[in-house]
């Protein structure tokens, strides 16, 4: 069987295919970084800095902040002063304990997990988000 030399159009198509594949690989999103609930440019505490650098911790913090804010709003609307006070006092204590973790990621994760348990005892489970995949909210 005789091989035919490549025509210019065949070469152009192959080059275009390689360029498209390379561009797709280069532009494909690697990971989505979620910003934490605070401004990372103003982070002064070592714990805040480690949260800003770590996408897992940033997501945990962002999810927690939404859960906490939703519960504050619900308690305020319901006029439940005792729950509102418990939420605010617990938040201050949580931030103090979290900030003592410094740059220890495992410690920060444990503190968020403990705070999640406290909030669940106080106000119940968070509502799933519309894109809930079955994973824990934080």
pLDDT of residue 113: 92
pTM of the model: 0.67
* Greater pLDDT, 73 or 2: 73
Interval 93-122: pLDDT, tens: 999 999 999 999 999 999 999 998 888 888
| Contact (CB, 8 A) for 58 and 35 | yes
> Is residue 82 packed enough to be buried (19+ CB in 10 Å), middle (13-18) or exposed (0-12)?
exposed
* Greater pLDDT, 120 or 136: 120
Cα(75)–Cα(108) distance, rounded to whole angstroms?
27
Cβ neighbours for 127, distance < 8 A, ≥ 6 positions apart: 70
pLDDT of residue 120: 86
Cα(2)–Cα(24) distance, rounded to whole angstroms?
36
pLDDT of residue 1: 53
Please count the residues of the chain: 138
Across the range 39-59, mean pLDDT stands at 94
Cα(4)–Cα(2) distance, rounded to whole angstroms?
6
Average pLDDT, the chain: 80
């Amino acid at each position: 069987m005789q091989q035919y030399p490549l025509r210019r159009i065949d070469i152009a198509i192959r080059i275009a295919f390689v360029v498209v594949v390379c561009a797709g690989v280069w532009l494909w999103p690697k990971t989505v970084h979620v910003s934490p609930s605070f401004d990372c440019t103003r982070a002064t505490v070592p714990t805040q800095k480690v949260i800003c650098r770590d996408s897992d911790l940033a997501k945990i913090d962002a999810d927690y902040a939404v859960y906490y804010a939703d519960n504050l709003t619900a308690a305020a609307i319901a006029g439940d002063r005792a729950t509102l006070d418990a939420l605010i006092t617990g938040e201050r204590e949580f931030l103090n304990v979290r900030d003592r973790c410094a740059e220890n990621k495992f410690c920060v994760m444990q503190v968020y997990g403990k705070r999640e348990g406290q909030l669940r005892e106080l106000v119940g489970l968070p509502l799933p988000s519309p894109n809930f995949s079955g994973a824990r909210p934080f």
